[in-house]
Amino acid sequence: MSKVLIVDDEPRILLLLQSLLKTNKYEVETARDGAGALEIVRGGGVDIVITDLRMTPMDGMGLFKEIHKLHPSMPVILLTAYASVETAIDAMREGMFDYLTKPFKVDDILSCLARADEKVKKHESLALSMDADTPPKYRFENLIGSSPIMTQVCDMIQKVAPTAATVLINGESGTGKEVIAKTIHRNSPRASKPWVAVNCAALPENLLESEMFGHVKGSFTGAYADKPGLFEVANGGTLFLDEISSMPLLLQGKLLRVLQEREIRRVGGTKDIPVDVRVIAASNTNLEQAVVKGTFRSDLYYRFAVITIDIPPLRERKDDIIPLAKHFIRLETPDGSPIPVLEPETAKALMAYDWPGNVRELENAIKHALTFMSESCLTPDLLPPKILHHAQAAEAASSSNADSATSGNASLKSFLKQKEKEYIEHILVAAGGDKAKAADALKVNLSTLYRKLSDDPNN
Ligand SMILES: Nc1ncnc2c1ncn2[C@@H]1O[C@H](COP(=O)(O)OP(=O)(O)OP(=O)(O)O)[C@@H](O)[C@H]1O
Ligand SMILES: [Mg+2]
């Protein structure tokens, strides 16, 4: 069974959920706040997180964002009051697994967890051989790539995975840097050893240093006990240094030393501890430029740049869009349920869009569409409004003719009205048809909602 981390500042809820989950054979950990929860997640082993929304100083959304950075595929379930349903819907757009409104029913919690559990298992075991759209050569778990450029990336992964070489992965945000780093780890002789990821941009310098190298008791205020760093935790395995360009210069020097000497020294310590760790780094900014600017050490850059994998943005490898969309549809569909069909019109809209947020944005768009789907068919109207508008605008532009200039204003107005209505209907579906709840989520009053739903063109 999966291990579930429950985060709530109310001890009563923690106890209640803990005993419910344990009775249902889940392994459980608990945390009273976001910082404690993140520490547990970073330590590894957690599969699913259930978090309350209202907590201080970090609320459930903040925690979700941090977890999502570390483990984009980890299901996070948000517990929220009715009044915050809008936040929850936004969160789902950003990749939150699901939300439950308080007071929740035991059955709802258990069925939501069962779905999350299924996702965890599927994510672990989904083999690409299931994907008829992708050449069988690439059976990397969870890594889809059928464009020529991704084929090259996969070739590269196959070559570097068996080695212990340091690798640098470059690409815009959401292009799949972490998924590629993980694929290298899983296909390496270190696969059964720890995979540890640290986001260098997420922590201030002193915390990052003690996070990476550990510290000894009393080395700074708050260092109540000796603590091993992530290099020690990752011993024998792979350490993924995300957003390496954000690493402060002083730490870059220390990292270089570790890469050369293969030993670390804890903050405040005097002993050198040998470590056997493969380091994979990722950057979404141009590291060469950072070297020129003097914010990144050139010796460290050259150490990483020996093996570089460049992942182009999704808009430059459009052949990957549909196989990826189908992959996400399968991933999100519970076992035994029919796999929703991606309608040709929907595929066309996906192909027409530029994907500034790359694969992550595509994944979220598919999740959005599946959330609002009622029959097992992904129609274009289920896509997030931004993508749909883009596709419709592209279509309108291509079919526009000379006299459209005079009628432009009127048609834009009716187009926007139509979109507004569709969006309201989406929210209504999400609110289970409850108009008061939908009005609340949309921050309009109930009479406005009724008016906007009526057929009156002047509403
Ligand atoms: N080729 C791919 N095949 C399958 N899933 C992918 C692929 N590329 C990306 N994804 C999925 O897209 C999401 C974003 O990928 P990932 O987190 O690896 O991006 P990233 O480049 O590390 O982004 P960031 O710079 O924002 O950290 C993840 O859920 C990942 O599983
Ligand atoms: Mg990443």
Measured by CA distance, the residue closest to atom 31 of ligand 1 is: 179
Ligand 1: distance of its center to the CA of 115 in Å?
21
Q: Determine the straight-line distance between the first and last CA of the chain, rounded to whole angstroms.
A: 52
Mean pLDDT of 353-369: 96
CATH code, 179: 3.40.50.300
Structure tokens at 181: 């780093």
d(CA 195, CA 213): 16
Q: Which residues pair with 99 in a beta bridge?
A: 78
Task: Give me the pLDDT at residue 456, please.
Answer: 55
Do 270 and 397 have their domain in common?
no
Last residue of a domain, one of 312, 344, 366: 312
Do 88 and 176 have their domain in common?
no
Do 237 and 275 have their domain in common?
yes
Atom number in ligand 1 closest to CA 282: 22
Do 186 and 276 have their domain in common?
yes
The reply to whether 173 falls in a domain is yes
Last residue of a domain, one of 261, 294, 312: 312
Do 198 and 300 have their domain in common?
yes
- Ligand 1 is surrounded, with C-beta below 6 A, by 72-73, 142-145, 171, 173-179, 242, 282, 284, 324, 327, 359-360, 363
The reply to whether 458 falls in a domain is no
Ligand 1: distance of its center to the CA of 341 in Å?
23
Measured by CA distance, the residue closest to atom 6 of ligand 1 is: 176
Measured by CA distance, the residue closest to atom 26 of ligand 1 is: 173
Do 47 and 118 have their domain in common?
yes
pTM above 0.95, yes or no: no
For tokens 């010796």, name the residue.
299
Do 280 and 335 have their domain in common?
no
Angle between helices 298-305 and 249-261 (to 10 degrees): 50
What's the pLDDT tens digit per position in 250-299? Answer: 999 999 999 999 999 999 999 999 999 999 999 999 999 999 999 999 99
d(CA 385, CA 382): 8
Q: Which residues pair with 264 in a beta bridge?
A: 273
Do 389 and 411 have their domain in common?
yes
Ligand minimally distant from the alpha carbon of residue 143: 1
Residue closest to 61 by CA, chosen among 82, 36, 80: 80
96: domain range? 3-125
Ligand minimally distant from the alpha carbon of residue 157: 1
The reply to whether 140 falls in a domain is no
d(CA 382, CA 426): 8
Last residue of a domain, one of 312, 335, 360: 312
Alpha carbons within 13 A on the beta-carbon side of 285: 14
Do 444 and 337 have their domain in common?
yes
Measured by CA distance, the residue closest to atom 7 of ligand 1 is: 176
Do 294 and 380 have their domain in common?
no
What's the pLDDT tens digit per position in 313-346? Answer: 999 999 999 999 999 999 999 888 889 999 999 9
The reply to whether 138 falls in a domain is no
Per-range mean pLDDT, top range of 117-126, 312-321, 389-398, 406-415:
312-321
Number of domains in the chain: 3
